[in-house]
Structure 1
Amino acid sequence: MPEALALGAAVVFGLVHFFSGLLARRADSWAVALYGQIGGVVVVAAAAVFWPAPQLTLESIAWGALSGVGTGVGVAFLYRGLSTGRMSVVVPVSDVGAVALPVLVGVALLGDRPTALAWVGVAAALPALWLVSRSRQAESSHAETGTLDGLIAGAGFALQFIAISRIDLEGGLWPILAARILAAVTIVPLGLRSGARLRLPRRFVLPACVVGAAGSVAIVLYFLATQEQLLALATVLAALYPAIPVLLAMLFLHERLSRPQVVGLMLTAAAIGLISLG
């Protein structure tokens, strides 16, 4: 069950990043990120009212807020990277840090002890993510800029994953709501400092909010997965989402896959199977 939740989060994360990337190429990327978080706030606020919360603590709210800061940094720089770079490069690059740091924290600080089979899956996932990020246009200036944004986004997503795993399920969805709010608050100064106007054409407002709402669904799925699964394994499974936008970019944006990317996708599938069996 936790493996299914984490994989569900990966699929939704992948779809969210694909469609957000399309929006970011047609409108201000910072505004897309901001309106996405606003859409997420609305959905989580509505769900939190009906979700049981027998013991909400300040600690859980604080962890939620910290995860929101990571989310804000992650989506802001990811969408900026997607607006200038290839989707099949930027998304996987962001995922390298997003998966590596939580795995290290889980094992070194939280006492995670994956099985030998699961470790083989983790070992396969890391090079898989790197191979998927390889591109024929890696030498271009746009790709370099997108790669840097992807690395910054990865650090933000790592903080998001780690902090969410520390939230107590007894607090319901209120800590996740705090995360959504702090994510939006974090994006505003970052966007203004970059010279963004944080405005969207009216026709893009609803799509951005819907995509952001879907992102909150992915966050909740990951949150539930961490309650029943080791942080290292839940993060690795949820962080396999780059395969989704890479494949969609190939099918609909005609971005051609390189041979290393094909190998990376095959390793991704192998990693999922090994971690699930472990």
Structure 2
Amino acid sequence: MAILCGVLAAVAYGVSDFLGGLGSRRVHFLWVSFAAAVVSTAMTALLVLVVPALRPDTGAAPLLWGALAGLGSAAGILALYRGYAEGQVTVVGPLSAVGAAALPALVGVATGERLAPLAVAGIVVAVPAVALMAHQTADSPGDSPAEVRAAGPEHRPRRLGPGIAEGIVSGAGFALLFVALGRAGDAAGLWPVLADQLVALALLGLAVAAGWLGRPRRPGLGGRSGRVARWQAVGAGALGLAATVAFFAATHLGSLAVAAVLTALYPGFTVVLAILVLRERPDRWQVGGLVLGALAVVAIAAG
């Protein structure tokens, strides 16, 4: 069940991020981030209200861990959507996953979690997998057009694409989210998730207010593009909540390291959607990363 929840979290995060990225290309990423957070927070609160088993009596510690997760959630979402708005989906998402996979795995091992050798191998493979997916072929500024054409795509210089800083910050933010929710404990129901959502919503609301005051003419959620972006934000928020709940369950049914690495493979699903919908073309390195990611999932599940 822990493996299944981790994979479900990866699928839900991958589709959620793709929808949020699409919305961020239509309107300002701050509005999409905030709208998605409103949806996910409202759905979490509704679940807590209507299902008594999800709101057991709990102390302050799980809520504090949930609040800390909210800091990471807000930072991760803002950076990721900004990166999607400015760069390639097939670059920013996988780069984000490097930190989201590696840091929680290191924390889990450092705090005494023991993993089977095959699961360790899967974790080791997952890190270069997302790193490979983050690469793209690009023309070097020093190359002439004739030299680039003569070299061919397979011999062109390689670099990380646009959105590098956003991908790194996003990965660190999601790593904090994963670690904090993993430490919240399994006896607190959805209270830590609700605390995470409320803190993230408050921070994203402040970011929207600051962006509106600083750039009052930035596009919002009105007009035709805004209507499409609203629905994309609703989908992103609902799937983001589903992914968070699935990850929360995975960390308490299994180890933090395994749950975090499985969940951090979400860019694979985002990349597939970018290929099918946006017609972005992965090169052989990115395809190799997707294959390694699939092998990592199999190894972790078998371990």
Q: Per the shorter chain, which TM-score range?
A: over 0.9
Could you tell me how far apart the structure 1 residues matched to 2:39 and 2:59 are? Answer: 25
Could you tell me how far apart the structure 2 residues matched to 1:137 and 1:223 are? Answer: 38
- When structure 1 is superposed on structure 2, of 86-95 and 246-255 the one drifting more is 246-255
Match of 2:238 in 1: 213
Q: Within 5 A, what are the aligned runs for 1:43-58?
A: 43-49=43-49, 50-52=51-53, 53-58=55-60
Q: TM-score, normalised by structure 1?
A: 0.94
The 1:148/1:209 distance shift into structure 2, 3 A limit, reads same
Could you tell me how far apart the structure 2 residues matched to 1:54 and 1:267 are? Answer: 41
Task: Provide, for residues 136-187 of structure 1, a one-character-per-residue CA deviation record: whole Å limited to 9, x for no partner.
Answer: 24869xx755111111111100000000001122221122111111111122
Match of 2:150 in 1: none
Match of 2:97 in 1: 95
The 1:35/1:139 distance shift into structure 2, 3 A limit, reads farther
Structure 1: where are the runs of 5+ without partners?
Answer: none
Deviation, structure 1 residue 244: 0.6
Match of 1:121 in 2: 122
Could you tell me how far apart the structure 1 residues matched to 2:244 and 2:6 are? Answer: 10
Q: How many residues align?
A: 275
The 1:254/1:275 distance shift into structure 2, 3 A limit, reads same
Could you tell me how far apart the structure 2 residues matched to 1:73 and 1:17 are? Answer: 14
Task: Specify the structure having the higher radius of gyration (Cα).
Answer: 2
Task: Provide, for residues 36-89 of structure 1, a one-character-per-residue CA deviation record: whole Å limited to 9, x for no partner.
Answer: 111001110111121413331111111111101100000001000100100000
Could you tell me how far apart the structure 1 residues matched to 2:5 and 2:190 are? Answer: 16
Could you tell me how far apart the structure 2 residues matched to 1:262 and 1:126 are? Answer: 15
Match of 1:130 in 2: 131
The 1:16/1:137 distance shift into structure 2, 3 A limit, reads farther
Q: TM-score, normalised by structure 2?
A: 0.86
Equivalent residues of 1:28, 1:196 under 8 A apart: no
Deviation, structure 1 residue 193: 4.6
Deviation, structure 1 residue 252: 1.3
Match of 1:169 in 2: 186
Match of 1:37 in 2: 37
Equivalent residues of 2:35, 2:237 under 8 A apart: yes
Match of 1:22 in 2: 22
Could you tell me how far apart the structure 1 residues matched to 2:138 and 2:173 are? Answer: 25
Q: Within 5 A, what are the aligned runs for 1:67-82?
A: 67-82=69-84
The 1:56/1:179 distance shift into structure 2, 3 A limit, reads same
Match of 1:231 in 2: 256
Report SS of the residue matched to 1:55.
Answer: coil
Of 55, 61, 64, which residue of structure 1 is paired with 2:63? 61
The 1:185/1:161 distance shift into structure 2, 3 A limit, reads same
RMSD, aligned α-carbons = 1.8
Could you tell me how far apart the structure 1 residues matched to 2:129 and 2:89 are? Answer: 16
Could you tell me how far apart the structure 2 residues matched to 1:234 and 1:12 are? Answer: 14
The 1:275/1:196 distance shift into structure 2, 3 A limit, reads farther
Match of 1:255 in 2: 280
